[in-house]
Amino acid sequence: MSTVVLASGNRGKLRELQHALRDTPYNLVPQGELGVPDAIEDGQTFIENALIKARHGARLTGKHALADDSGLVVPALGGAPGIYSSRYSGKGDKANNDKLLAAMAGYQGEQRRAWFICVLVFLSSADDPAPIVAEGRWHGFIAEDIRGEGGFGYDPIFVIDWQGRTAAELSADEKQTLSHRGQAIAALRAKLGA
């Protein structure tokens, strides 16, 4: 089994990725367990930030690296919170959700459209000239209030188009099948042949 540094400290992402890759030859280890500090994410896009994190993790450990950069895009808010999704309020998930709900007050119907995006980057080394990149998008809209106990991040306010449930109201398996990260993982697995 190959050890792969997960270039993230996000426990929710770690759980989802470990679960999704459990039957592959890759053993994901969070960067914190290997003494790797967070990278400075100063890219302007999800893919740039994923590459920055993966190269940082691979460089400091000498191992394969997997990085995820993901977020929520709300066109009515000019794409916000976008690449700043995890630090939108600066105070964590609940405050991020509260800030987004406040920003969406007064928006109706199609104006509440949104999507999650996930970009995964897999590197065999820090200088890998051909990173494996996979992407997934999950379309829905922003709820008017917080609903559900599962998931993390914006899951309690992201309503799935055809279901009417929030991502936080899905089981872990349902979320894995439908989500932006689930889609990106499926694409990554296909590219890795895993």
Q: Report pLDDT for 22.
A: 87
Q: What angle do CA 43, 139, 82 make, to 5 degrees?
A: 20
162 vs 112: CA distance, rounded Å: 15
C-beta atoms surrounding 56 within 10 Å: 22
- Active-site residue among 23, 68, 69, 161? 69
Mean pLDDT of all residues in 157-181: 90
pTM of the model: 0.91
- Domains of the chain (ranges; CATH) run 2-192 (3.90.950.10)
pLDDT digits (tens, 9 = 90+) for 73-95: 999 999 999 999 999 999 999 99
**pLDDT at residue 180 is higher than 90:** yes
For tokens 């191992």, the residue is 63
Does 69 participate in catalysis according to the annotation? yes
Q: How confident is the model at residue 137 (pLDDT cuts 50, 70, 90)?
A: very high
CB 6 within 8 A of CB 61: no
48 vs 133: CA distance, rounded Å: 11
